[in-house]
Structure 1
Amino acid sequence: MMRDAPQDKTKPARAGWLRHLPLALVVCGALLGALTLRDFVTFDTLRDNREALLAFRDQNYLGLVLGFLGLYVVIVAFSLPGAAVASVTGGFLFGLWAGTLLNVLAATTGAVVIFLAARAGLGAILSAKIAAGEGRVQRLKTALQKTEIEVLLLLRLVPVVPFFVANLLPALVGVRLLSFFWTTALGIIPGALVFTSIGVGLGEVFDRGESPDLSLLWAPQVIGPILGLCALAALPILIKALRGKTEI
């Protein structure tokens, strides 16, 4: 009589460890980038190489578009320093509308990479615990589901929420990928327009020997409309809470 082959008890543990690997790579990449790239991806680097970049754009526009998208996605996916420089560069190289489109596409793609990496590991564990929870935890889950879209848009529109945090938190609480994707793409448009518009006039700034002034983001004529959009995103949450439809 043949005995059953002994089961490999290390496989579940190995599988559990591997699902944390994507997020671990993102964190390691972020730490390595913070230590090595902070002085490289700068406006000074762009100033020193602008003639070469513009010449390459004129000779191989599609190649520069693909290279720009790839670099920007890597910057966002690994939370590397230089996202603001990349956004301004999009306007400098491609103009307002094409630059905004490319900036939104790249930033959204990078955000989805972080979201999927986090959801595969910590997000899966935390979501399972929330799903198995009772009482207040379950009420919190229900409240988040009812206001998922509004909360996601608010995370994108509020200027003080770091982009990495707005990518990570939704994955940890079980937000749907489709909702995360389209609210990210829509919610970052106002900020992308501002950064890209700064890049459009970057050539003149460089010619004067100056650096771009990113404090423009906090100018009343810029921050005012963005805060107005924040209020619109928060209004449905407030209304549902006042009507008693959301219990937190």
Structure 2
Amino acid sequence: MYELRKMVELDLLNLIKNPMWVAYATLFPILLVMTLSFLGGSGHVMRPVDYFGITMMLFSALLSSSFSANAFMEERIKLPNMRLIMLPVPVYFIPLSKIVATFIFSVLFYSLDGLVLYGVFQVNFGGPYWPAVWLLLIAVDLFSIVLGILFCTIFKTETTANQVTSLMVQTLALLSGCFFPIYVLGDKLGAVSQYSPVTMVINTLFEVIYDGNFYHYYSALLVILSLSLVGGMLSLRLFKGDDYL
């Protein structure tokens, strides 16, 4: 486990040393919330800043797949990983360390974003229920990270993995009400969007925040964590050392 810990430390350091990813993880969610809240005007039941504070944190968590794909397949990362292949450590340590390091990186910076949104903009994260809200967002973050790694092991390149995951994430976010309430899509698209897992998470988050209703919470959390576990196991199994050659 010492080798795995050192690999995680190195991968985490590589992410933190990338100013683009640090800026993306810290500024992007806050700027999205500020912009969309301004454009959204004022609400009677729910303030736009509260709505977009939740949905944009969810959207940002979904975009964490880009962090993991970059940490896994970026050209400047591949050379050190090629050397690791020659060491007497399990080859699956490579994707596993990327998952763990990216998870630590994203949770750290997204938590800072959440503190800013709460402290400066008074975004409603559920009051006494905020740990449950944050736990579900973190679970989505983990799933997205695993998805980025899984697609890297399937497509073998960071570019293709990012293109596929970005298309999936943006389509699901658009059709699930991240950028506007679902009812504006009309009845037919609104009905279709109910089958989206992102819609399920959004509805569950607002049920917890505004009603203290946990009826769907545990099933949603279980589904996301189960998908993360399955995706992670597939990633570790599918990865071959010659993927870097």
The answer to whether TM tops 0.5 is no
Greater relative contact order, per chain length (Cα 8 Å cut-off, separation 6+): 2
TM-score, normalised with respect to structure 2: 0.37
TM-score, normalisation: structure 1: 0.37
